[in-house]
A = this chain, B = another copy of it.
């Protein structure tokens, strides 16, 4: 049995598991029709979409996406009201009912052990005429159901490969491959193996346009024209780094395939001594900004953490601190961790002035610094005035304490930081004992 067959055996739903899912799905579709009838809402069509409808779901995942399609002529208000009415009627038999929001509200419920989304949408005539973002999904569903038969197992293996290598999922935290994108790749390349083989030679700017109907230029590293909508890049959410990482893991897998790619061992949290050894052997300076993580969904929290990491890097670089690496982590607390060449700089800072021959500026520069207490020395270098002056922030900590609040941060993190933060450095970082944080630190040990 090949490695991939072994993997498939672990992830393919059994006939019983499948039968169960199909029964529950039918029940739910029926309940949607019944609810509509009961409420006197006409013209809707219930649809099962997503991986459950396409036979591309991995054993153990019990997600059902039930769409409630309204005629295109329905007003948005009517769709929202009547959609939620139907969903709430169905939800009466579920648990943990939660109203969620995409472009418009929908319900997430637990029903007989399944995680069910009940999503109103417009039944438009083509994916290029959608009225709401979710309207596209039924078209994706039709296209995959039509094209995938016979290759479902390859999708399963690929999804597991991506999960194991951290490249699966198009949400903002991961910025990897969506289920639909994975399915399209398998359809395009024909099989798991052939996809892997081809990815090894991917280069940025690659366009996959199966129907040869793409009509827009995209700047993304990978462009996969949506078979159901020529204007859309299915891979728009894929970050350049995940694109690169996927190429890298496909090559490594080709060179030396192993089960580890699909089912990696969970990393051990680093021990205190390991962390201190790691820092000492690198000899660089570690500094962490710690604050209470606001209670937000991942798709809002992680982009803001990402933005904050960039702002902090820019702030440090502006004040001459040289950055080696950085990262962020969040649970109850959020941590932005930065590794610097040094967290201390000499008191003196070289401040470049205007060229001597620009009379006005030259006069202003000389007047400003000549008799300043901040001046060490002033001289001319390659025609420019240079003032060696006292550095405002000789340590990264002082800089962050004084200037973090004026960084450009996302709305929620800006508030969180304003409420208070602490800066911890070096060995003190081991006071953060959360095992997940200690796992996150392994990226300094063995690569991201």
- Chain A residues proximal to chain B, CB less than 8 Å: 200-204, 221, 240-241, 243-245, 247-248, 251, 281-285, 320, 324-325, 341-342, 345-348, 350, 355-357, 359, 362-363, 376-385, 388, 394, 443-448
Contact = CB atoms under 8 A, between A and B. Distances in A.
Nearest to A246: B356
B377 A348 contact: no
A346 B281 CA distance: 9
A114 B68 CA distance: 110
Given A284-B348, A341-B345, A346-B284, A380 B324 contact: no
Nearest to A394: B283
When all copies of this chain in the complex are counted, the total is 2
Given A244-B355, A244-B356, A247-B357, 20 more contacts: A204-B383, A240-B382, A241-B383, A243-B383, A248-B356, A251-B359, A251-B363, A282-B348, A283-B347, A283-B394, A285-B346, A324-B346, A325-B388, A341-B345, A342-B342, A376-B444, A377-B444, A377-B445, A379-B443, A379-B447
Contacts of A348: 282-284, 324
Nearest to A386: B325
A282 B346 CA distance: 6
A340 to B, nearest CB: 9
Contact of A202 (B202, B357, B380): B357
A385 B244 CA distance: 9
A221 B247 CA distance: 52
Nearest to A381: B241
A285 B347 CA distance: 11
Nearest to A445: B377
A203 to B, nearest CB: 4
A200 to B, nearest CB: 7
Nearest to A347: B283
Contacts of A350: 324-325
Contacts of A345: 283, 341
Going nearest first, the 4 A-B pairs with the smallest beta carbon separation are A283-B346, A283-B347, A379-B448, A244-B356
Given A324-B348, A346-B341, A447 B377 contact: yes
Contacts of A283: 345-348, 394
A255 to B, nearest CB: 9
A123 to B, nearest CB: 41
A443 B377 contact: yes
Given A281-B347, A377-B446, A203 B357 contact: yes
Contacts of A356: 244-245, 247-248
